[in-house]
């Protein structure tokens, strides 16, 4: 059952998974990522329509996202595509993210059967230097983090 508060959808989805710290960077070549792979958890207000999401990983990355999910539903199956934009933070200094607090951008695909979900997400963290939004004099390398997830939609 989906409920709405204003235009914010309230049908929570809880996810847990594995975050891979890749060596793929948009602005640096031959750079090895300074953080390791980790466990990750995510809680979203909804997978359809306007919503909010928070995520945390055991390697010290955190995010708060605005999102808008597009969902196609069958009788018991669903498929959601969820673009995301928000803020992210690090618990300790990370070479690729010199500001500590920066932008997060991503997209997620969730496959659903009844209340169960399997997902994959790409989470990009950056200081926004391409948009002129960085405040650090250190180079922005950024992180690109795929996340594999399983979860439950309430």
In a domain, 3, yes or no: no
In a domain, 95, yes or no: yes
In a domain, 43, yes or no: yes
- Give the CATH number of the domain where residue 41 resides: 2.40.160.20
In a domain, 59, yes or no: yes
Q: What is the pLDDT of residue 28?
A: 52
> What is the domain range of residue 142?
8-153
Q: What is the pLDDT of residue 36?
A: 84
Instruction: Please give the mean pLDDT across all residues of the chain.
Output: 87
pLDDT single digits (tens) 37-94? 999 999 999 999 999 999 999 999 999 999 999 999 999 999 999 999 999 999 988 8
In a domain, 98, yes or no: yes
Contact status, residue 57 vs residue 38, Cβ threshold 8 Å: yes
pLDDT single digits (tens) 93-113? 888 888 888 999 999 999 999
Written as six digits, the tokens of 17 are 């998974």
In a domain, 12, yes or no: yes
| Count of structural domains within the chain | 1
In a domain, 40, yes or no: yes
In a domain, 148, yes or no: yes
């Amino acid at each position: 059952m989906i409920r709405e508060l204003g235009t914010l959808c309230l049908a929570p989805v809880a996810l847990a998974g594995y975050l891979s710290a890749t060596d793929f960077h948009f602005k640096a070549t031959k750079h090895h990522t300074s953080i390791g792979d980790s466990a990750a958890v995510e809680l979203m207000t909804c997978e359809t329509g306007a919503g909010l999401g928070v995520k945390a990983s055991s390697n010290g990355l955190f995010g708060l996202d605005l999102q808008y999910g597009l969902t196609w539903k069958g009788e018991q199956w669903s498929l959601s595509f969820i673009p995301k934009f928000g803020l992210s933070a690090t618990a300790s200094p990370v070479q690729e993210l010199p500001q500590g607090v920066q932008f997060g951008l991503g997209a997620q695909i969730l496959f659903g059967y009844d209340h169960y979900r399997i997902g994959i997400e790409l989470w990009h963290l950056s200081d926004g230097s391409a948009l002129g939004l960085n405040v650090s004099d250190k180079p922005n390398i950024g992180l690109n983090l795929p996340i594999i997830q399983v979860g439950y939609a309430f």
